[in-house]
Amino acid sequence: KLWGPYPAQKPNRYVAVTTVRQGSRVLDSYETPFGIRTLRFDPNEGFFINGQNLKLHGVCDHHDLGALGSAVNRRALQRQLQMLVEMGCNAIRTSHNPPAPELLELADEMGLVVMDEAFDCWLSGKTALDYHLLFADWHQQDMRAQVRRDRNHPCVIMWSIGNEVGEQGQGETGAAVAQNLTDIVHEEDPTRPTTSAENSARANSPFPKAIDVLGLNYQGAGGGMSTNAQYPVFHGSFPANFVYGSETESTISSRGVYTFPVATGFGAVANGTHGEDAANRQMSSYDLYFPGWATSPDKEFAAQDRYPFVGGQFVWTGWDYLGEPTPFNSRSSYFGIIDLAGFKKDRFFIYQAHWRPDFPMAHILPHWTWPDRVGQVTPVHVYTSGDEGELFLNGQSLGRKTKGQYEYRLRWDDVVYQPGTLKVVTYKDGKQWATDEVKTAGDPALLAANPDRTTIHADGHDLSFVTVTVEDAQGVMAPRADTPIHFDIQGPGEIAATDNGDATSFESFQSHDHKAFNGLCLVIVRSTKGAGPIVLKASAPGMQGAEVTIQAAAPSL
């Protein structure tokens, strides 16, 4: 039985048991899980696993777990991957460092393929105290150690020897370093190719010749407003090499934030008049704004569809992460498809629509609570795996739209805001496919709490992620609420962290008091070593509170 990714295949695994004996006495025993599969990187048809074509629907992810920091918790990491799989993700890039072993174990179990990345710099450093100080003395030992540690994981399909390294532009000197690393990897594992995330190497330079499969950062589709796509250029210069997007998009957005007017076409470079709410250090969630080197999901999708030889992409990033806040001086990034707390941004649904075409879904943006925009044009966009949609405002049709070639959203750009209910009915092949609706919310009146799991292990490690929603009296989420919420906990559990996904928030992750951000707040409950009910209470001034019970159960043998 072969190891392969869902949904077309199954991640079947075996275990090799290595036993050391002295006479009849067993001195040691070690179990190595493994999987059997074939890989093929075809320069014209893309990536194949076990003979089946698999378009890489991948994301890059940083190592941290948001409010929990960088110390690995298996359940928190599992939650991240589960949400990405729900979106349609089938591949992970470990950017830009060797992954935690738990990540590869989970990828093996869940059927995700992995680009296993080693270095963020070589001899040319990016900061004063980074790995360039150690590279000359340690790169060979570290590269060999990484490959030896990870090579029995069937999820690993390629070894990345570097990310945006300075040596790309150093001619034959830089290519020699790349060749040295490629040779080291081939000595340790002749079954997988090397790659490097290339953001500046040109197709006529020597650097790409030293690498097996060619990963392009941003330049594949043409970054910013450029129309100079490099996918066909590299394909023409290296007709025997597999080409893919090793880092793509870098669209920036804040969950639940929208600015006006809205960009046309594939979007615009973010600035004071396009997509930025500079006063509040937030980015518009119309998903059409990006830094000068980057682009929108729509533009990358179109490039991948225009050039079917491209093997797929790894989006920057699956989740928001601590640090690297672009373009504002904030706590965490704006790049994530999912925010730091694990709440889905609108962008989640454009990927789900494109990556899961057989999954009936529709998603409307923006929210529909705009007391300051009555009578003003408020564009409405719909992400759907269908091909048509009809939009209704308070029961009145605003017209039916059809996706054109290289279009990945339905747009009603001339909607005049009136409070009430906005509904879309989508169609596929002429048949009704999926619906979605958003309603105007009243004043915040109550809290609702929803745990992702109501039973956890009483082992001191397991977690329940509790979403607290601010709602009006009718139970409609208040999408602009920043209500301060207090949390109390009783029983064999503790509050491990709180968050709200707001990149600008510097509230302590350990505090039992946290503001909602655009209607949502997160509480992470961790079991202590004892079985029994854990009761979490959420309260806010002048509002009806919420209470939820989570059962801590003794782990079964």
Place of tokens 């409010």: 67
Handedness of CA 466, 467, 468, 471 (dihedral sign): negative
- In this structure, are residues 332 and 319 in contact, taking their beta carbons and an 8 Å threshold? no
Task: State the Cα–Cα distance between residues 265 and 273, nearest whole angstrom.
Answer: 16
Task: State the Cα–Cα distance between residues 143 and 177, nearest whole angstrom.
Answer: 13
H/E run at residue 336: none
Q: What is the CA radius of gyration of the chain?
A: 25
H/E run at residue 309: none
Instruction: Measure the N-to-C terminal CA separation of the chain; round to a whole number of Å.
Output: 27
Per residue, the 3-state secondary structure of 407-456, as one string, reads CCCEEECCCECCCCEEEEEEEECCEEEEEEEEECCCCCCEEEEEECCCEE
Nearest to 156 by CA among 33, 238, 74, 310: 33
Token pair for residue 133? 């100080």
Task: State the Cα–Cα distance between residues 215 and 95, nearest whole angstrom.
Answer: 13
Catalytic residue among 164, 198, 300, 388: 164
CA separation, residue 131 to residues 126, 179, 434 (Å): 9, 19, 50
Catalytic residue among 247, 300, 388, 390: 247
Tell the burial category of 493 from Cβ atoms under 10 Å away from its Cβ (0-12, 13-18, 19+). buried
Task: State the Cα–Cα distance between residues 262 and 273, nearest whole angstrom.
Answer: 10
247 part of the active site: yes
**Which residues of 258-404 form beta strands (DSSP E)?**
268-269, 276-277, 282-283, 289-290, 312-316, 362-365, 380-384, 388-393, 396-402
Task: State the Cα–Cα distance between residues 437 and 391, nearest whole angstrom.
Answer: 10
86 part of the active site: no
- Helix intervals (H) in 158-315: 171-188, 231-237, 297-306
Place of tokens 């296993």: 116
Token pair for residue 495? 């509050």
Active site residues: 164, 247
